[in-house]
Amino acid sequence: MYVLLRQLHDLRRAIDLPPPSARGSLALRHVDAGSCNGCEHELNAVAGPFYDLAQYGLNVVASPRHADVLLVTGPVTTRMAQALQRAYDAMPAPRLVAALGDCALGCNVLGAARELAGPLEDLLPVSVRIPGCPPTPQVIAEHLLAAMTGQPVAS
Amino acid sequence: MPAAWHETVADALAQGWRFAGLYATRDGGSPCIRAALTREGEPLVLSCLADERRTASIVDIVPAAAWDEREAHDLHGWAFTGHEPLRPLVDHHAPTSRWTAPLEGRDAHQVAVGPIHAGIIESGHFRFSVVGERVLNLDLRLFYKHRALEAAAEGVGHVQAIAHAQRACAADAVTNAVAYAHACESALGLWPSEQLRCSRTLLLELERLWNHLNDIAAICAGVGFAPGNMLFAAFKERAQQLNAALAGHRFLFDSVRIGGGDLAIAPDDAAGAREELADLRHAIGRGWRELAFAGSLQERLEGVGVTAREQVERMGGVGPVARAAGVPIDARTTSPRLTYEGFAPAMLEQPGGDVAARMEIRGAELSATFDLLDGLLDGPLQAAGCTRVEDASPAVGTGVVESPRGQTLCAVELDGGRIARMHLRTGSYANWPLLALACRDELLPDFPLINKSFELCYACVDR
């Protein structure tokens, strides 16, 4: 166990992260509406030891009832549209919707029109747009921090 | 025709051919069912034409074809005589009673989970039939993420349509793309050059590396062992950063194309990558030993979610799941279009088929992957192409590639330069029914752990 913790400790020191200066926090609820699972892997990485968004007050929560932000991935399939709407309806106001990845943004979507209910913009009021296929953890972190602080995205 | 179809498939099985997938298509305007089989890396495609879209079911001799037949029914309107009851798989309009096992008895009840889960997880719906915390049966309803990628690929040029195969799933993107490329190239009569075989093998093993690290981290998370989860998640991140450095993308997207490959690694970069891999291997070895001595982790893995060898053989299980149960199948042993000469899959001394064995096999396979990567990076890699071979160009091109989750089949039928039909059957597709069986008689709270030890994709199953 000591070796495990030691390795993790060294890892944290090896990474150059900006200091968590901003106040406040955001609770994030993720819904996969038909992604290829790439955005999920990168979102997991953001919550993992390298990027560690928790130190900035950004946490992934288990229920939409606890969430400030609905993070949606995928082009929104017809089969996920209802579940997505219900997750949104379950959230307390004020609430934000974030489109995570190119599919959710309606870019270069693959699939047959009859199986797609999206783009997300037509279904829910999107206010945070995180581009990429999939967006890298760095890009996800930058956009979520910008949404929290109200500042424009740095890069 | 229906009876002859059953007999044809039975004859092929008797001659040692192994089922790899079944799908509905059209042949000369007639509705047609095709079954793809393999033997020693050779493909065999059997066809059954029936204008009325009805034929004999083969599930009595090939239980692995159950999901394939259900999919052909739901998406293409086929009926299979003898497949009773033919439960809906892709069709979400059917009432719950049609796709779940009947349940009665004192205190027996259903627990419905999903399609949205409580973490950063793909979408899918599970129906557990339970008494107290004991799972009697698990019925799966996937296909919430169905984008009809196969239908969307039809009519698209075969060079562009690789995106439909690759983006079916990020975790197995390289496997799916290479299987698609092999299928197209076999239909076009192309054979990859030595350089191309090397660069595709390198990409496939880089994919296996980050996936296996991800899966080990996920199993640790499944029992709430945070240090193991965090450490292997960090190793996975290092592997993905190496992907980005070598091929320009953390998931190796767009690194495979038809008829050639653009991956080029200069001598210095190859040497640097070897160094990073050696360092990563050393660090992983230390971490792995720590996991082996973490009693609170190991004791939670043993004897949980057992998949017996007979079950794997009967249901056509593949990949680490099959090998953890002592079934030594691995498409890498029969991949002439890649460079796996002399490869033999790692096997366990005691393949218990439980969560512990599925963890252990991934550790053993990492070792083989590091050896392969080290050999492939022993020198520069250049962009490469294919050569034309005279004797090949079957009507149905097939590609069979071992993904981190097991054997993946891609079948491609071309109409000139366009896709007439593309079908993708991934390792996850083959293993989902086994996951459901592995949960029987286990505790409901152990489902996440058992699930993580299989670590199956939803995206490439739903397509």
Which residue out of A66, A110, A144 would a mutagenesis test of the B interface target, given it has the greatest number of B Cβ atoms within 10 Å?
Answer: A110
Question: Which 3 state secondary structure label does DSSP give A120?
Answer: helix
Per-residue pLDDT at A142: 87
Contacts of B243 in chain A (CB under 8 A): none
Nearest by CB: A79 against B143, B230, B237:
B143
Is A102 within 8 Å of chain B by CB? no
- For residue B253, the domain's CATH number is 1.10.645.10
Residues 39-78 of A with CB under 8 A from B: 40-45, 47-50, 60, 62-63, 74-75, 77
Higher pLDDT, A2 or B114: B114
| Same domain, yes or no: B164 and B233 | yes
Report yes or no on B454 lying in a domain: no
Q: Which domain range does residue B262 map to?
A: 153-433
Report yes or no on B461 lying in a domain: no
Contact status, residue B431 vs residue B319, Cβ threshold 8 Å: yes
Report yes or no on B462 lying in a domain: no
Per-residue pLDDT at A23: 73
List strands edge to edge, sheet with B260-261.
B190-192, B384-388, B260-261
| Same domain, yes or no: B119 and B204 | no
Going by C-alpha positions, the residue among A42, A87, A137 that lies closest to residue B123 is: A87
Number of domains in chain B: 3
Nearest by CB: B147 against A42, A45, A111:
A111
Report yes or no on B377 lying in a domain: yes
State how far residue A1 is from chain B, nearest Cα, in angstroms: 6
State how far residue B36 is from chain A, nearest Cα, in angstroms: 25
Chain A residue with the nearest C-alpha to that of B168: A36
Per-residue pLDDT at A35: 95
> What is the DSSP code (8-state) at residue A113?
G
Nearest by CB: A40 against B115, B120, B147:
B120
State how far residue B170 is from chain A, nearest Cα, in angstroms: 5
Nearest by CB: A38 against B214, B227, B251:
B251
Angstrom CA distances, A118 to A29, A112, B13, B141, B460, stand at: 19, 12, 45, 22, 20
Nearest by CB: A3 against B163, B167, B286:
B286
Contacts of A35 in chain B (CB under 8 A): 122, 145, 459
Contact status, residue A87 vs residue A122, Cβ threshold 8 Å: no
Contact status, residue B207 vs residue B252, Cβ threshold 8 Å: yes
Cβ neighbors of A89 (< 8 A, separation 6 or more) are: none
CA distance B210 to B455: 13
Per-residue pLDDT at A154: 66
Is A143 within 8 Å of chain B by CB? no
Strands B18-27 and A126-130: unpaired
State how far residue B96 is from chain A, nearest Cα, in angstroms: 16
Cβ neighbors of A35 (< 8 A, separation 6 or more) are: A73, A74, A101, A103, A104, B122, B145, B459
Per-residue pLDDT at B379: 79
List strands edge to edge, sheet with A58-60.
A58-60, A26-32, A69-73, A96-100, A126-130
State how far residue B229 is from chain A, nearest Cα, in angstroms: 9
Encode chain B (463 residues) as per-residue pLDDT tens digits. 556 999 999 999 999 999 999 999 999 889 999 999 999 889 999 999 999 999 999 999 999 999 999 999 999 999 999 999 999 999 999 999 999 989 988 999 999 998 999 889 999 999 999 999 999 999 999 999 999 999 999 999 999 999 999 999 999 999 999 999 999 999 998 999 999 999 999 999 999 999 999 999 999 999 999 999 999 999 999 999 999 999 999 999 999 999 999 999 999 999 999 999 999 999 999 999 999 999 889 999 999 999 999 999 999 999 999 999 999 999 999 998 999 999 999 999 999 999 999 999 999 999 999 999 999 999 788 888 888 886 666 789 999 999 999 999 999 999 988 999 999 999 999 999 999 999 999 999 999 999 999 999 999 999 9
Contacts of B294 in chain A (CB under 8 A): 1, 4
Query: What ipTM was predicted for this assembly?
Result: 0.94
| Length of chain B counted residue by residue | 463
CA distance B187 to B413: 8
State how far residue B118 is from chain A, nearest Cα, in angstroms: 4
Fold of A23-149: Rossmann fold (3.40.50)
Contact criterion met (CB < 8 Å) for B170 and A41: yes
Nearest by CB: B120 against A8, A43, A115:
A43
| Same domain, yes or no: B422 and B287 | yes
Neighbour tally for B336: CB within 10 Å: 13
CA distance B235 to B217: 9
Angstrom CA distances, B256 to B201, B292, B345, B463, stand at: 11, 37, 25, 19
Domain chopping of chain A, boundaries: 23-149
| Same domain, yes or no: B16 and B38 | yes
Contact criterion met (CB < 8 Å) for A60 and B164: no
Contact criterion met (CB < 8 Å) for B147 and A75: yes
Contacts of A74 in chain B (CB under 8 A): 145
Nearest by CB: B231 against A8, A33, A60:
A8
pLDDT in tens, A3-43: 777 777 777 655 555 666 667 889 999 999 999 999 999 99
> What is the DSSP code (8-state) at residue A18?
-
Chain B residue with the nearest C-alpha to that of A86: B116
Per-residue pLDDT at B371: 96
| Same domain, yes or no: B103 and B221 | no
Report yes or no on B370 lying in a domain: yes
- For residue B51, the domain's CATH number is 3.30.460.80
| Same domain, yes or no: B7 and B130 | no
CA distance B5 to B72: 16
Report yes or no on B61 lying in a domain: yes
Contact criterion met (CB < 8 Å) for B287 and A7: yes
The model's pTM is: 0.94
| Same domain, yes or no: B75 and B181 | no
| Same domain, yes or no: B300 and B419 | yes
Which H helix or E strand runs over B188? helix B173-188
